[in-house]
Amino acid sequence: MLTTRSVTGLRADGNTRIITLDDGSEIGCKIVLIATGKWFRTLDLPGVDKWNGAGVYYGAAHTEAMYYKDKDVVVLGAANSAAQGMLFLARYARSVTVLIRSEPDWSTYLDSAIRTHERIRLLERCVLREIHGDDVIAEVTIEHTQTGQLERLPAAALFVFIGQRAQTDFAADLLRRTDDGSIMTGLTLLENGKRPAGWQLERDPLPLETCVPGIFAAGDVRNGTRHGVAAAVGDGDAAVSMFWQYLSTI
């Protein structure tokens, strides 16, 4: 079955697993494989969504960089993805100002390239307070957290790299998850050798199986996975044999 709907809920009823879709309809089945991936953490500023793609970009740099040739851009973030993004943007932009909440957390080889780049300016202990603009963004207000001083900077674009979160809120009440929403599977679910609460099968959870038998997780959404296409495809392939094992136990 191919459906272009979002999943909004997941529950278990006996051996039936039931997913709810965003139009309110439900699908019952024996097995669910969750492969909903991760998505970028978004800014928590009022009204910011109207500038998505109109100056505010999440996790992107390569496709937009040319568009901001000879413009002033701002990068938010301090990990390797932000570092790689700012170095790429600095090939085209007139200036790249980087807002870092505390201190950089990127690799050493990126650090020297960034600190010696004439068009990259690092502002440590700074947070974003406001975005200004009309149809597209034009400026941002930042706060220097040590002094409380506010500063307004030109910004033709804002590139945001503040981490990712697993897209699993639809399963929040049912599955064990980590702080970033990743789904726990397999033996990581055992606590002091004990199986998850409510687990009734006479075996441990299979490597890709969640705390609910018959519900599996694969790819970026799974806690402990090595993020990447190959790992996600490998999980998907491995999951099939686990489906058969599961079916033989119910």
Integer Cα distance of 147 and 122 in angstroms: 17
Of residues 159 and 170, the one with the C-beta less far from ligand FAD: 170
- The footprint of ligand FAD (CB under 6 A) covers 6-7, 35-37, 59, 167, 170, 219-221, 227-230, 232
| Residue 247, CA atoms < 13 Å, CB-side half-sphere | 10
Of residues 96 and 218, the one with the C-beta less far from ligand FAD: 218
Integer Cα distance of 182 and 175 in angstroms: 10
DSSP letters, the chain, are ------EEEEEEETTEEEEEETTS-EEEES-EEE---EEE-----TTGGGGBTTTEEES--TTTGGGGTTSEEEEE--SHHHHHHHHHHTTT-SEEEEEESSS--S-HHHHHHHHT-TTEEEEESEEEEEEEESSSEEEEEEEETTTTEEEEEE-SEEEE---EEES-GGGTTTS-B-TTSPBP-GGGG-BTTBPPTT--SSSPPPTTB-SSTTEEE-GGGBTT---SHHHHHHHHHHHHHHHHHHHTT-
Smallest distance, Å, CB 220 to ligand FAD?
4
Of residues 64 and 220, the one with the C-beta less far from ligand FAD: 220
Of residues 142 and 184, the one with the C-beta less far from ligand FAD: 184
Of residues 51 and 58, the one with the C-beta less far from ligand FAD: 58
Residue type, 186: G
Residues 6+ positions from 44 with CB-CB distance below 8 Å? none
Smallest distance, Å, CB 147 to ligand FAD?
35
Smallest distance, Å, CB 125 to ligand FAD?
28
Smallest distance, Å, CB 145 to ligand FAD?
29
Of residues 51 and 170, the one with the C-beta less far from ligand FAD: 170
Smallest distance, Å, CB 159 to ligand FAD?
12
Smallest distance, Å, CB 204 to ligand FAD?
24
Of residues 36 and 210, the one with the C-beta less far from ligand FAD: 36
Smallest distance, Å, CB 129 to ligand FAD?
27
